[in-house]
Amino acid sequence: MKTVACIVTTGFAPFEFGVACEAFGLDRSADGVPNFDFRVVTPDPGPVDSKLGFSINVHDDLGFADEADLVVVSPTPHEYWGSPDPRVVDVIRRAVDRGAWVLSVCSGSFVLGAAGVLDGRRATTHWMYAAKMAQMFPAVEVDPDVLYVQDGRIITSAGTAAGIDACLHLLRQELGAELTNKIARRMVVPPQRDGGQAQFIDRPLPVSTSQSLAPVTDWMLDNLRSDLSVEQLAAKAHMSPRTFARRFKADHGATPAAWLARQRLIHAQRLLETTDLGLDRIAWESGFGSAAVLRQNFARTLGITPTAYRDRFCCVREGSTTKEADAVASVLEPAV
């Protein structure tokens, strides 16, 4: 993925638009991250009004989107949900037909729904709009309870911060876990929140909850190789197992076991990218126990084998030992 087009139309949401700019538009070459040719596009170049009353001046029309490897669709006002600009609809259809990535943030999924590219697919949007989306597009399987959904090369996300998670999810597939973690650190956000985590609809979290479990999650990350039970983790948190499990899911949107499995997978990805360790050793270091279990988790979650993942993302020079690459150009050429 080298080129990214972000489509904005009248009434776009500034925060969600900014998410795309932050994820794909900044120069992070100093961190070894390839740059993308990122452009903001609109049907009629010139001033485009945001929903907050200010405008941005967009220079590029939709022509660039017809060539982009990724087309990002910003949220659109509800009055356009059923009738978005037909030129945007056509661009989205063509992008899907040619196999490009298409990513919508929040109510941008309504534009994808109007284009018909979500028919027969699973998708999501902000929980407030999910029922309306299901009503307007009955051929779409709308899941209101998740942060983002990937179906093929189409990614739809819930509102606001879920757009960040969806962008990082896509970047992880294109750049690998190590470089995506660098991007997440620059953005000062968690490097991975599963798409299946809940949107926290009516459950505002007390500040103390996150703080009280932080030492436990840090300890879990330091002990991925161990067989960690809920009882053991609850004891670390000075809680009963039932209370700990409930608090953990409220805080992280996943059970302790599911969260731990995902962290183990991320650690295995990083080891595959940055070391020349064998699969058995990586499985042990990341807590999977055996190469067979590691392969099962990669196939189920990532749809790829560990060996194929390493072939795509590994940055270790031939004959070297564990070390990060000082350049990623041998794997992914930066965009010109």
pLDDT at 13: 93
The count of C-alpha atoms lying within 13 angstroms of the C-alpha of 110, restricted to the half-sphere facing its C-beta, is 24
How many whole angstroms separate alpha carbon 235 and alpha carbon 244?
9
- pLDDT tens sequence across 205-255: 333 444 578 889 889 999 999 999 999 999 999 999 999 999 988 877 788
Question: What residues does 57 pair with on adjacent strands?
Answer: 47
Give the per-residue pLDDT at 193.
63
Q: Does residue 31 share a domain with residue 176?
A: yes
pLDDT of residue 192: 60
CATH number at residue 175: 3.40.50.880
pLDDT at 334: 31
Is it the case that residue 39 has pLDDT exceeding 90?
A: yes
More confident residue, 209 or 67: 67
32 within domain boundaries: yes
Torsion of CA 48, 50, 52, 53, to 10 degrees: 10
> d(Cα 32, Cα 87) in Å, to the nearest integer?
37
Task: Identify the pLDDT of residue 207.
Answer: 39
Contact (CB, 8 A) for 125 and 71: no
The conformation of residue 185, written as its DSSP 8-state character, comes to: H
Residues 6 or more apart in contact with residue 221 via CB below 8 angstroms: 263
Domain that holds residue 137: 3-187
Please report which confidence band the pLDDT of residue 190 belongs to, taking 50, 70 and 90 as the band edges. Answer: low
Q: pLDDT of 201-210, one tens digit each?
A: 333 333 344 4
Express as a percent the part of the chain with pLDDT over 70: 87
Q: Average pLDDT of 167-179?
A: 91
Residue range 109-164, pLDDT digits in tens: 999 999 999 999 999 999 899 999 999 999 999 998 888 999 999 999 998 888 99
Specify whether 14 is located in the same domain as 136: yes
Q: Are residues 160 and 38 in the same domain?
A: yes
Last residue of a domain, one of 195, 230, 252: 252
Q: Which residue has the higher pLDDT, 202 or 67?
A: 67
Segment 94-100 mean pLDDT: 98
For residue 97, what pLDDT is reported?
Answer: 98
pLDDT, greater one: 259 or 87: 87
HSE-CB at 333 with a 13 A cutoff on CA atoms is 2
pLDDT tops 80 at residue 72: yes
pLDDT, mean over the chain: 86
Q: How many domains does the chain have?
A: 2
The pLDDT of residue 336 is 25
Domain-located, residue 329: no
Q: Are residues 152 and 46 in the same domain?
A: yes
| Sole residue written with tokens 């690998």 | 176
pLDDT band (50, 70, 90) for residue 332 = very low
Out of 187, 215, 243, a domain closes at: 187
290-317: b or e for each residue (b if 16 or more CB lie within 10 Å)?
Answer: ebeebbebbeeeeeeebeebbeebbbbe
Does residue 146 form part of some domain?
A: yes
Beta bridge partners of 73: 7, 104
Structural domain contains residue 268? no
Q: What is the pLDDT of residues 261-312, one digit of tens each?
A: 988 998 998 899 889 999 999 999 999 999 999 999 988 888 889 998 898 8
Taking the C-alpha atoms of residue 133 and residue 156, their distance in angstroms, rounded to an integer, is: 12
Cα–Cα distance between 298 and 312 in angstroms, integer? 14
Tokens of 206: 């007390």
Q: Same domain, yes or no, for 76 and 212?
A: no
Say whether both 75 and 156 belong to one domain. yes
**Same-domain check for residues 147 and 248:** no
User: Considering only CA atoms, which of 52, 43, 47 is closest in space to residue 14?
Assistant: 52
Output the pLDDT for position 160. 80
Beta bridge partners, 40, equal 6
Q: Are residues 141 and 223 in the same domain?
A: no
What is residue 325's predicted lDDT score, i.e. its pLDDT? 37
60 plus 166 within the same structural domain: yes
Q: Per the domain annotation, does 259 fall within a domain?
A: no
- For residues 154 and 30, state if they share a domain: yes
Output 89-96 pairs: Cβ under 8 A, ≥24 positions apart.
89/114, 89/115, 91/7, 91/62, 91/65, 91/66, 92/117, 93/117, 94/66, 95/65, 95/66, 95/68, 95/71, 96/153, 96/154
Q: What is the pLDDT of residue 315?
A: 63
Residue 123: other Cβ atoms inside 10 A:
28
Domain assignment present for residue 264? The answer is: no
* Together in a domain, 166 and 248: no
pLDDT category of residue 12 using cuts at 50, 70 and 90: very high
**pLDDT class of 108 with cuts at 50, 70, 90:** very high
Are 102 and 218 members of one domain?
no
List the one residue out of 177, 198, 119 whose CA is nearest residue 152.
119
Tokens of 266: 């991320």
Q: Are 14 and 53 in contact (CB under 8 A)?
A: no
Predicted local confidence at residue 278, as pLDDT: 95
Residue ending a domain, among 252, 278, 308, is 252
